[in-house]
Amino acid sequence: DVKVTQSSRYLVKRTGEKVFLECVQDMDHENMFWYRQDPGLGLRLIYFSYDVKMKEKGDIPEGYSVSREKKERFSLILESASTNQTSMYLCASSLGLWTPAVYEQYFGPGTRLTVT
């Protein structure tokens, strides 16, 4: 079974803090994704990575950065957290870029981040 783990289920941070969200997958997947999920808006892609040290902006990258130093680990960084970044953050992974398997994503349980 593919397992995607996220470092925290719940996190509370103050405005202006630097926040790190960590994600690890154990299935040697090439692709990893970070989403945020807000009521009524579904899933919005922040960044994805198709290989170590590679990253691509998604639909809403502003205010976020990412790091992928190892294949199994993908980190989301909020450089200076703001209240409008309060959300559920979901990490996902999938196989191969040039096949439909890229759309069969395995998700972690999510991190509910509250910025006060």
Partner 1 sequence: LAKTTQPISMDSYEGQEVNITCSHNNIATNDYITWYQQFPSQGPRFIIQGYKTKVTNEVASLFIPADRKSSTLSLPRVSLSDTAVYYCLVGQNSNYQLIWGAGTKLIIKP
Task: Give the binding site for partner 1 (CB under 8 A).
Answer: 4, 40-45, 58, 90, 92, 97, 100, 102-110
Coil, strand or helix at 102? helix
CB of 40 or CB of 62, closer to partner 1: 40
Cα–Cα distance measured from residue 17 to residue 30, given in angstroms and rounded to the nearest whole number: 30
CB of 5 or CB of 15, closer to partner 1: 5
Cα–Cα distance measured from residue 5 to residue 100, given in angstroms and rounded to the nearest whole number: 23
CB of 16 or CB of 108, closer to partner 1: 108
CB of 16 to partner 1, least distance (A): 29
Cα–Cα distance measured from residue 93 to residue 42, given in angstroms and rounded to the nearest whole number: 18
CB of 78 to partner 1, least distance (A): 20
Residue 25: strand pairing partners: 4
> Residue 97 carries which side chain, given as an amino acid letter?
L
Q: What are φ and ψ of residue 36, in 5° steps?
A: -120, 145
CB of 109 to partner 1, least distance (A): 6
CB of 56 to partner 1, least distance (A): 8
CB of 71 or CB of 107, closer to partner 1: 107
